[in-house]
Amino acid sequence: MNSYRENVQSAAGNTLAGLYAQQQQLQSQNCSAQYSLYYAQGAQLNAYEGLTEVKQQLLASRLISEQGVECDNLATNLDASAKLVQQATATTVTNSAATAAGIQAAAKAISTLAAELGSALNIAAAACYGTDIYRKTLEANSFIRTTANHAEYITRLAMDAAAASSEVIATDLVNQSALARAALKTVQGAANAQFTALSQQVVAGQTTLATASNAEKLAEGALEDTGREMRAINSAVEDCNRALNFNLIASVTGTFDGIAVSLDPYQQPFTTWPEGAGIHLASDITIPAANPEHYVFIAKAENAGSVKLEQIEALFNTEQTKYFHPVTADDGWQVVLPVSASGSAVADIDGDLLAAGVSYVAGVYVVLSLPYQKYINSFNNILSSVSLPVTLQAPLGQAKGIAFSPDKKSVLFTLPPLSEDITQQEFRVMLLHSGQPLTGGFMTSEDTDAQSGDAAIGFYFNKAIAEQVPGANYRVAHCSSTQLVAGGLERSMKAVIPDDMTDNFGALLVPGIEYLPVVLAVPSAININANAWSSTLAFGAKAETLIPLAGSREDAPVVAKAAAAAPSASGDNNEHPTES
């Protein structure tokens, strides 16, 4: 028959195991919900930007169509005017020719009359010189000569008018206006067709945006649901661990060089009785003190399921000092177990030295005094359930002073002295869409908002998501120069922004949109101990517009002066890029 204590331990172990499994499942669901929300927000942003671009094209097409209508009206008027000119020109040519002929006949008659008056003047001069007849004849001759000169001038004008009228090419004008109107009709038809197509695209884009917005809100709801469930299961795990498992907690030390294990001591049951319980021990009955001794051991997380009381008891009896570490009140019920890199000889129960990058669980083995075991008639000691897994990982170097270069063609930042070789690390530079679309209301990550400060991004983004961004959507930064500072070598890093650069979602950069640079540090492909390091995510201080809108004040070529590379203070300025 199992003892009460064994039943309690079994129930506690089963309860914790079930909670751990449920916690792991909810963590997976929460992670999946985060990715779903991230991609849903990306789809909505792309749909919004696409719709905005199509609307701009539609506006331009509408203006072209309106201009086309005005031009068509002008072309219609021009065609009608050309036809009127053609008709008027034909009439003018006919009338001009007739007028010229009439004027020419009149001029001939005037010339004949002038000749006859000239003869009469000669006769009068010979026969009647000095008389009134002579004077009247002389005056008439003067008038007719003036009239003859005027007639000659008018004849010339009439002939010039007739010639000019015949030179008007009204037929060509009509043909040209007809061709121009036909060409304009073709252009107007194409513009109208484009306007219709763009109108349909706007309708489709609005439908796509509405669908994406609905999907984004559903993803937000799913993440909020899993978040509440995660908080509930975490609280349940903490309460159960505190009540049933000595409040056993394993964590990485602040200096990332060991595992800290803390616990609450074993409390001997039934040391006092509730008042009025009706329990009265005989005066000669004394419950022996349990005098518990607490020992912490470490096991690989992958072997946590095989940790049994019989195995631990046998191992304790043979290798107590090697695998078990006492925890006392003097230590505050906490023990720190350093990893092998720090020169310790701490080993897990498999005999392997603790190492960075390996997932471990901690357990507590409680040894009770023999008199107490005899009293309760159970000679088994107490084995806790294992703790939640913990992996010793040190953070990689974090970028500082992230900003765009003056010409907006690269991202610059610095790295403080690194504990790890720079060739073992990769620094991925991403450009995040800053702000939210006019639809607004995007859920964001509280942790990311706290890290990014005033330059908070407008969508859900965190380090786990950054690690999943495809290689086509980021650029790898390389060391451009080094400087010897207190503590080691400070590096200046640079990532070039190509013309076909995309944001983190894979969309091409949009004119007029501000982007925030971020740098993710991850172990490089040649790092043989990548699990020993954790990624770091750093945010730029300011989002900026990389591509100005056409016609804006910033839409001007920028001539960047070539800066000479500063020589390294240490001479170690020949580092090779981690990725080309």
Q: What is the pLDDT of residue 160?
A: 81
pLDDT band for 442, please (50, 70, 90 cuts): confident
pLDDT above 90 covers a percentage of the chain that reads 44
Residue 522 has pLDDT above 90, yes or no: yes
Distance CA 336, CA 362 (A): 12
Q: What is the pLDDT of residue 569?
A: 40
What DSSP assignment string belongs to 148-191? HHHHHHHHHHHHHHHHHHHH--HHHHHHHHHHHHHHHHHHHHHH
What DSSP assignment string belongs to 244-293? HSTT-EEEE-TTSSEEEEE-PPP--TTSS--TTS-----TT--PPP---E
For residues 44 and 88, the model is more confident at 44
Q: Which of 72-76, 239-243, 267-271 has the lowest mean pLDDT?
A: 267-271
Question: Once rounded to an integer, what is the mean pLDDT over residues 168-189?
Answer: 83
Q: What is the pLDDT of residue 559?
A: 40
Q: What is the pLDDT of residue 156?
A: 82
pLDDT band for 558, please (50, 70, 90 cuts): very low
Q: What is the pLDDT of residue 206?
A: 92
As a whole number of Å, the end-to-end CA separation of the chain is 69
Q: Which of 116-120, 345-349, 558-562 has the lowest mean pLDDT?
A: 558-562
Q: What is the pLDDT of residue 439?
A: 56
By the 8 A CB rule, do 548 and 515 touch?
no
What DSSP assignment string belongs to 197-254? HHHHHHHHHHHHHHHHHHHHHHHHHHHHHHHHHHHHHHHHHHHHHHHHSTT-EEEE-T
| Residues contacting 116, CB < 8 A, separation 6+ | none
Domain boundaries, the chain: 1-244, 245-268+285-392, 395-545
Q: Which of 103-117, 189-203, 368-382, 464-478 has the lowest mean pLDDT?
A: 103-117
Indicate the CATH number of 245-268+285-392 among 1.10.260.40, 2.60.34.10, 3.30.460.80, 2.60.40.10.
2.60.40.10
For residues 447 and 98, the model is more confident at 98
CB atoms within 10 A of CB 463: 17
Tens-digit pLDDT profile for residues 274-321: 666 666 666 556 788 899 999 999 999 999 988 999 999 999 999 989
> 1-244 with 245-268+285-392: one CATH topology?
no
Tens-digit pLDDT profile for residues 451-501: 665 556 778 999 999 999 999 999 999 999 999 888 788 999 999 999 999
Distance CA 478, CA 110 (A): 104
pLDDT band for 159, please (50, 70, 90 cuts): confident
Distance CA 292, CA 267 (A): 9
Q: What is the pLDDT of residue 512?
A: 86
pLDDT band for 122, please (50, 70, 90 cuts): confident
Token duo for residue 466? 């950054």
Q: Which residues pair with 429 in a beta bridge?
A: 475, 519
- Which H or E run includes 518? strand 514-523
pLDDT band for 176, please (50, 70, 90 cuts): confident
Q: What is the pLDDT of residue 464?
A: 94
The mean pLDDT of the chain is 84
Q: What is the pLDDT of residue 560?
A: 38
pLDDT band for 98, please (50, 70, 90 cuts): confident
Question: Once rounded to an integer, what is the mean pLDDT over residues 365-377?
Answer: 90
Tens-digit pLDDT profile for residues 389-399: 999 888 998 99
Tens-digit pLDDT profile for residues 14-49: 899 999 999 999 999 999 999 999 999 999 988 988
Residue 565 has pLDDT above 80, yes or no: no
Fold of 1-244: Helix Hairpins (1.10.287)
For residues 178 and 237, the model is more confident at 237
Residue 88 has pLDDT above 50, yes or no: yes
Q: Which of 71-75, 154-158, 220-224, 242-246 has the lowest mean pLDDT?
A: 154-158
How far from 486 is each of 413, 416, 417, 425, 567, CA to CA, in Å? 18, 10, 9, 22, 18
The CA-based angle 189-193-197, given to 5 degrees, is 170
Q: What is the pLDDT of residue 530?
A: 86
For residues 88 and 31, the model is more confident at 31
Q: What is the pLDDT of residue 1?
A: 39
